[in-house]
Amino acid sequence: MSENPATNNSVADLQAEGGHGAVPIAGVPTGLGAQPPGSDKWTLFEVFVRARRGLSHNHVGSLHAADAEMALHNARDVYTRRQEGVSIWVIPSTAITASSPDEKDQYFEPAADKIYRHPTFYDVPSGVQM
């Protein structure tokens, strides 16, 4: 009970991941020693929820689970218990290829001065509702 988890784990192990947000960890007993056996091998899943028909699925957070079905159940209970959604996707985080923050400039900066790509050079006929 008295053991300080910080002495047994590197700081990287204690970081909150994904949608759980930044959590202060210094000196806080995290109970990491009491995790279910094998849960360190659980997969990280990203959770996408569609709020209602007609909208697309939005990323709402992430969670660990032993398999996809458990991830779906957990996502249902954690992310949709206040009627947030009508459909859930769970996707193993490893299946997502993301652009690197380091490449932000070369990816996105060049679009900044190309205003002609925005549909703002047309006269909107009167009678068209915006």
Partner 1 sequence: MSTHRQEYVLRLGDDALVLSHRLAEWSSNAPQLEDDIALTNIGLDLLGQARSLLTYAGKLEGRSRDEDDFAYLRQESEYKSCQLVEQPNNDDFGFAIARLLFFSTYQVALYSGLTHSTDATLSAIAAKALKEVLYHREYSTSWTLRLGDGTAESHERMQQSINNVWRFTGELFEKDAVVDGLTSEGVAPDPERLSAEWNLYIDSTLAEATLDRPNVPFRAGTGRSGRHSEHLGYMLAEMQYLHRLHPGATW
Question: How many chain residues touch partner 1 (CB under 8 A)?
Answer: 16
Contacts of 9 (CB under 8 A, 6+ apart): 32
Which among 46-54, 67-75, 93-101, 118-126 is the span making contact with partner 1, rule CB under 8 A? 67-75
For partner 1, which is the closer residue by CB, 9 or 30?
A: 30
* Per-residue binding letters, 72-111, with partner 1 (x by CB under 8 A): -xx-xxx--x------------------------------
CA neighbor of 84 nearest in space, from 60, 100, 104, 112: 60
CA 52 → CA 42, 61, 83, 86, 96, distances in Å? 30, 18, 10, 6, 24
For partner 1, which is the closer residue by CB, 38 or 101?
A: 38
For the bound state, the minimum distance from the C-beta of residue 70 to partner 1, rounded and expressed in Å, comes to 7
Q: Tell me if 39 contacts partner 1 by CB under 8 A.
A: yes
Among 13, 17, 40, 69, binds partner 1 (CB under 8 A): 69
The DSSP line for 11-71 is HHHHS--GGG-----TT----GGGSPTTGGGPEEEEEEEE-STTSPPEEEEEEEESSHHHH
Contact set with partner 1 (CB under 8 A):
35-36, 39, 63-67, 69-70, 73-74, 76-78, 81
